[in-house]
Amino acid sequence: MSTVTLGEGNTPLVESTRIGPELGLRRLMFKLESCNPTGSYKDRFIAAEVARLLRIGAKACVATSSGNTGSSLAAYSARYGMRCAIVVNQNAPAGKLMQMQAHGALLLRVREFVSDPRVTQQVFTDLHSFSATYNAPLVVSAYRHCPIGMEGVESLGHELAGQADHIFVPVGGGGLYTAVARGAGTKSRVHAVQPARCSTVAAAFARGDDEIRPVHSTTRISGLAVPFDIDASIALRHLRANGGYAFAVEDEEVFEMQSWMLAEEGIYCEPAGATALAGVRRALERRIVRREETIACIVTGHGFKDPESIAEAAALHPDRVVDPTTLAQHLQGIL
């Protein structure tokens, strides 16, 4: 099979109509990775990785995921006749779990996976053992585990190179940042934005050292909850080489940005997809970017991935049950 694809990549880069001007920016852009076939940038990774698995003759694979990798792998596996088992934390968002199940994946929710280092280590040990015994490759969206697959994500950096003076990237494990920095090269400054409650790269950057220290994650931004070094150390090296900055932002800021993007830009994103914008605001406050420069935010995933956060945003705009005789009166609320 020559090409593995569902039409991923070449996603829209749309200009802000309201938030940019409100922040005083000349040009703020949103890279809508949420428009990929399964709703996240992980389709770039999985397309390249599944192509590799098919080339080596794999019939089945196992994977770990916070949600989006699993959703993408389940879809591409369904398309190309590959069986897959996906291991997630028991609290992964319902939208992502449902997507994996709908495509027929074997979904295994493991208590305290990711949140407990000992459990996490044991899970990876068991997965490596299973993979070696049954010739079922382990799929993890990280250069450390699947470098060929991650090279597929570098296309995102290629698409943005030269399109913006600054690119803001949400950071969890560090693989996305690394891929974007590699793809963009020296044509854009690439900044990292990470939840303060799961700060590995941003904490090391602030300390000025090269040590990625494991943390106890309490962030609600599930897609970025990676409390140990997968690709964080390599992301930190690329961050310093690129001349970018790292920003640690609070969960409340991220949810505020998500609501702002929903209500003022029409961009239906999950919380991780709004994290970059929180970094832009921090960068403006610290005068790291200039208002006349072009700034791009990577919107990593679609809103249907995390229905709970969407429900919270929707609650800010409650509906009303009205009597037909008072309809005209209520319609004046939009004036």
Regarding whether 164 and 127 lie in a shared domain, the answer is: no
- Spatial separation of the C-alpha atoms in residues 303 and 153, rounded to whole Å: 21
pLDDT value of position 35: 98
- Spatial separation of the C-alpha atoms in residues 35 and 299, rounded to whole Å: 9
pLDDT value of position 1: 56
Domain assignment of residue 124, given as a range? 42-147
Instruction: Please report how many Cα atoms fall inside a 13 Å half-sphere around the Cα of residue 274, on the Cβ side.
Output: 32
- Mapped onto helix, strand or coil, the DSSP state of residue 322 is coil
State pTM to two decimals: 0.95
Which residues, in sequence order, are CB contacts of 130 under 8 Å at separation 6+?
62, 136
> For each successive 10 residues of the chain (335 residues), what is the average pLDDT?
90 98 98 98 98 96 94 98 95 91 96 88 95 96 97 98 97 98 96 98 97 94 93 98 97 98 98 98 97 98 95 94 95 92
Regarding whether 34 and 62 lie in a shared domain, the answer is: no
CA distances from 244 to 163, 166, 278, 320, 326 (A): 16, 9, 16, 47, 55
Regarding whether 24 and 123 lie in a shared domain, the answer is: no
- Domain tally for the chain? 2
Residue with tokens 């939840």, as numbered in its chain:
195
Regarding whether 259 and 142 lie in a shared domain, the answer is: no
**Beta strands, E only, 196-288:** 246-249
Give 106-155 pLDDT, tens digit per residue: 999 999 998 888 999 999 999 999 999 999 999 999 999 999 999 999 99
- Spatial separation of the C-alpha atoms in residues 26 and 23, rounded to whole Å: 9
- Spatial separation of the C-alpha atoms in residues 103 and 79, rounded to whole Å: 9
Give 155-199 pLDDT, tens digit per residue: 999 999 999 999 999 999 999 999 999 999 999 999 999 999 999
Regarding whether 126 and 47 lie in a shared domain, the answer is: yes
CA distances from 36 to 260, 268, 278, 298 (A): 22, 13, 23, 13
Regarding whether 252 and 177 lie in a shared domain, the answer is: yes
Regarding whether 96 and 61 lie in a shared domain, the answer is: yes
CATH number of 74's domain = 3.40.50.1100
